[in-house]
Amino acid sequence: MPTPAPGRATPPTVVSDDQMHREYLEFPEDKKIAWSNHTQHTYMLAEARRAYRQAHVLKHWDETDRRILFRLILGQIPKQMEDALGMTRQAIEARIKKMLKKTGLEDRTQLILWFLGFIALRSGGKTFPGTTLIESCEVDRSLLQSLRSSRQQ
């Protein structure tokens, strides 16, 4: 288990997928329904965005940029990509900066989330809502209503 950061009283929580799955199964079924609807809606939007973003990337980005993007998705940093791509870390970082500029995003995490469909872009290159991972139910009134009605049933 990681040691706590200086000045931090409790160590960070480390949770495995197995433990999260067990806790999910123990969660009351009636409370799961609303969040399940929200999650399903969120992933449907992400899947639709990912389809046209993947087509855009395949059509407009060169092979090197695509390989860098997919290595970022796998969690690699530019230093880890050097040998596989035959490029220097600085050249890889320069390519990433150009990809960020093309998409109007600010950092690598946003680039990954953009490609996977979890960040919506609006005209003018603005992300919506901000840099959040998942659109909150407060943004979509119809989703909020469906969440409320499912809780009442």
Kindly state the DSSP code that residue 127 receives in the 8-state scheme.
Answer: E
Distance CA 126, CA 76 (A): 26
Which of 27 and 89 is assigned the larger pLDDT? Answer: 89
Which of 11 and 25 is assigned the larger pLDDT? Answer: 25
CATH value at residue 143: 1.10.10.10
Letter for the amino acid at 17?
A: D
pLDDT digits (tens, 9 = 90+) for 84-99: 999 999 999 999 999 9
Q: Is 135 helix (H, G, I), strand (E, B) or coil?
A: coil
Its domain, for residue 115, covers 33-152
Residue 124 lies in a domain: yes
Residue 15 lies in a domain: no
Residue 125 lies in a domain: yes
Residue 51 lies in a domain: yes
Which of 50 and 125 is assigned the larger pLDDT? Answer: 50
> Directed axis angle between helix 89-103 and helix 108-116, to 10°?
50
Mean pLDDT of 121-138: 50
Q: Is 121 helix (H, G, I), strand (E, B) or coil?
A: strand
> What is the DSSP track for 9-68?
SSPPP---HHHHHHHHHHS-HHHHHHHHHHHHHHHHHHHHHHHHHHHHHHHHS-HHHHHH
Residue 102 lies in a domain: yes
Residue 8 lies in a domain: no
Residue 121 lies in a domain: yes
Q: Which residues pair with 127 in a beta bridge?
A: 121
User: Does the structure show a pLDDT above 70 at 141?
Assistant: no
User: Does the structure show a pLDDT above 70 at 149?
Assistant: no
Q: What percentage of the chain has pLDDT greater than the value 90? A: 38
Which of 90 and 4 is assigned the larger pLDDT? Answer: 90
| Residue linked to tokens 């809780």 | 151
Domain count, the chain: 1
